[in-house]
Amino acid sequence: MIHVNGEPSTVAPGETVASLLAARGLNGGEGLAVAVDGEVVPRGDWELRAVPDGARVEVLTAMQGG
């Protein structure tokens, strides 16, 4: 099972970071950063990087304000 931001995900192991984001409605990816098991995944690798079973994925959104 893959966990995204600490919650169980319905994304199947082996799907890409891009498909994981699309499943969460984050297709554009603007202002996002993604880490898989503590390693930041560059935006250019999202289409290629498969998410393994048991992975912990963090999706961070940049916010403006103070």
> Largest Cα–Cα distance of the chain, in whole Å?
38
% of the chain exceeding 70 in pLDDT: 98
Residue 29 within any structural domain of the chain: yes
| Sequence-ordered list of residues with C-beta below 8 angstroms from that of 15, at least 6 positions apart, any chain | 23, 50, 51
Residue 51 covered by a domain: yes
Q: Which residue reads 């554009």 in tokens? A: 28
Q: Which of 1, 19, 4, 7 is nearest to 56 (CA)?
A: 4
CATH number for the domain harbouring residue 32: 3.10.20.30
Please list, in sequence order, all residues whose beta carbon lies within 8 angstroms of the beta carbon of residue 10, skipping any fewer than 6 positions away.
Answer: 23
Token output for 58: 């963090």
Per-residue confidence band for 55, with pLDDT thresholds at 50, 70 and 90? very high
| pLDDT 10s digits, 14-43 | 999 999 999 999 877 789 999 999 999 999
Domain of 16, in residue numbers: 3-61
